[in-house]
């Protein structure tokens, strides 16, 4: 039998013994797993850990700030935020194909991370230290899935699958590899991480880049961010955050529809709400949100978000639809 307290203690002791006087780095994604892994390693080795967060410009409202403020406030971890939005948006210019977008985002992420890594190694080297460890938030299901060899068809290229290039010589620290998601959340709580981080719903690594159907531009990202913030606010206010697995908001940027707003004709874009219920994201059902809540969301989005004049609801389960549209 184990308790979250004993897991933390055991891992802290083990990590301290392994790392000794050397250094470690950790890529933070904003998600639960990497945050908990980083907090745990930070508890063990403090200043010897540097976390790197790559802001690709495809984040939702408040996301980067949450990592910068809440995570650091809760853990005291040393954090380096790399603003790489220009680079990502440049690489995505003109691209509409979903898989191409995913590959570009994955590739740029690795490049930016490697660059930050090289800088840290150079700085540490100048101080006579060795950066020998890479922290990853690998969970038990990740281990099983990648080692299982079940031959599951690869439907989408997840940005972090395949991971970092093999020629980087790091020892991995994966303190969560025996745990399931709910256990990881408990460990996060034990480490004092706030609910905003620990209870977070899943959000894809490629971010809003795969929720804009069509080319990804700064303007379109702003439109989608505004609509998404309203949806999240209303779902939270309705107390549905735990019940709903996640609710992607998708901007159909290549589609226009006629509307009437104020006293004029508009020709704007539709957004799609994709609320789903799920146990593990392998299968999902569309969530039966209360009509009054849907009405409120629809009114707010069309009133408050420039360029959006229509709100639609996705009532497809997975399969046949995937959760994300791209
Ligand atoms: P799909 O769209 O395949 O999504 O039904 C299943 C779950 O995975 C999330 N997702 C991703 N997560 N990197 C991630 O870290 C990715 O590239 C990625 N693509 C999809 C999606 O949000 C859902 O929870």
Q: How far apart are CA 8 and CA 184, in angstroms?
A: 11
pLDDT of res. 161: 44
CB 75 within 8 A of CB 193: yes
In three-state secondary structure terms, 226 is helix
CB 56 within 8 A of CB 29: no
Both structure tokens of 147: 């080692």
Predicted TM-score (pTM) of this structure: 0.91
pLDDT tens, residue by residue, 96-125: 999 999 999 999 999 999 999 999 999 998
Both structure tokens of 171: 């020892």
The residues, ordered by sequence, that sit 6+ positions from 197 with a Cβ below 8 Å of its Cβ are: 32, 35, 66, 70, 71, 74, 188
Residue 195's beta-bridge partner residues? none
Kindly give the distance from the C-alpha atom of residue 262 to the centroid of ligand 1, in angstroms, as a whole number: 38
Task: Check whether 153 has a pLDDT greater than 90.
Answer: no
* Residue 150 vs residues 39, 143, 146, 153, 316: alpha-carbon distances, Å: 33, 13, 9, 9, 27
pLDDT tens, residue by residue, 48-89: 999 999 999 999 999 999 999 999 999 999 999 999 999 999
CB-ligand 1 contact for 206 (6 Å cutoff): yes
Question: pLDDT class for 251, splitting at 50, 70, 90?
Answer: very high
Kindly give the distance from the C-alpha atom of residue 282 to the centroid of ligand 1, in angstroms, as a whole number: 10
Question: pLDDT class for 142, splitting at 50, 70, 90?
Answer: confident
In three-state secondary structure terms, 211 is coil
Question: pLDDT class for 176, splitting at 50, 70, 90?
Answer: very high
Rounded mean pLDDT of the chain? 92
CB-ligand 1 contact for 281 (6 Å cutoff): yes
Nearest C-alpha to atom 21 of ligand 1 is from which residue? Answer: 204
Nearest C-alpha to atom 6 of ligand 1 is from which residue? Answer: 281
Nearest C-alpha to atom 4 of ligand 1 is from which residue? Answer: 323
Average pLDDT over residues 246-254: 98
Residue percentage of the chain with pLDDT more than 70: 93
pLDDT tens, residue by residue, 311-322: 999 999 999 999
Average pLDDT over residues 168-173: 85
pLDDT of res. 152: 44
In three-state secondary structure terms, 172 is strand
Kindly give the distance from the C-alpha atom of residue 204 to the centroid of ligand 1, in angstroms, as a whole number: 5
pLDDT of res. 143: 86
Q: Phi/psi of residue 245, each to 5°? A: -65, -50
Domains along the chain with CATH numbers: 4-198 (3.40.50.620), 211-313 (3.30.300.10)
DSSP 301: H
Residue 54's beta-bridge partner residues? 82
Question: pLDDT class for 144, splitting at 50, 70, 90?
Answer: confident
pLDDT of res. 166: 55
Annotation: binding site for ATP: 29-35
Q: How far apart are CA 34 and CA 46, in angstroms?
A: 16
């Amino acid at each position: 039998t184990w308790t979250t307290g004993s897991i933390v203690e055991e891992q802290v002791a083990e990590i301290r013994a392994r790392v000794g006087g050397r250094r470690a780095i950790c890529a933070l994604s904003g998600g639960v797993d990497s945050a908990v892994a980083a907090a745990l390693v930070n508890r063990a080795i403090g200043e010897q850990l540097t976390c790197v967060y790559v802001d690709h410009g495809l984040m939702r409202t408040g996301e980067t700030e949450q990592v910068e403020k809440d995570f650091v406030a809760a853990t005291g971890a040393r954090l380096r935020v790399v603003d790489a939005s220009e680079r990502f948006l440049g690489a995505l210019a003109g691209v509409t194909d979903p898989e191409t977008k995913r590959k570009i985002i994955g590739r740029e992420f690795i490049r930016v991370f490697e660059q930050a890594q090289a800088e840290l190694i150079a700085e540490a080297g100048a101080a006579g230290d060795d950066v020998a460890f890479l922290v990853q938030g690998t969970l038990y299901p990740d281990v099983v899935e990648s080692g299982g060899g079940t031959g599951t068809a690869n439907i989408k290229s997840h940005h972090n699958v395949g991971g970092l290039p093999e020629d980087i010589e790091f020892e991995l620290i994966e303190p969560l590899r025996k745990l399931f998601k709910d256990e990881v959340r408990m460990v996060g709580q034990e480490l004092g991480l706030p609910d905003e981080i620990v209870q977070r719903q899943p959000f894809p690594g490629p971010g809003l880049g795969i929720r804009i159907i069509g080319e990804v531009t700064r303007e379109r990202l702003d439109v989608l961010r505004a609509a998404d913030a309203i949806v999240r606010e209303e779902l939270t206010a309705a107390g549905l955050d735990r019940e709903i697995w996640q609710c992607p908001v998708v901007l159909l940027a290549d589609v226009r529809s006629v509307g009437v707003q104020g006293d004029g004709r508009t020709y704007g874009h539709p957004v799609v709400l994709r609320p789903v219920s799920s146990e593990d994201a392998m299968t999902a059902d569309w969530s039966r949100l209360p009509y009054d809540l849907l009405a409120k969301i629809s009114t707010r989005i069309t009133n408050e978000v420039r360029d959006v004049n229509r709100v639609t609801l996705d009532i497809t389960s997975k399969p046949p639809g995937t959760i994300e549209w791209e």
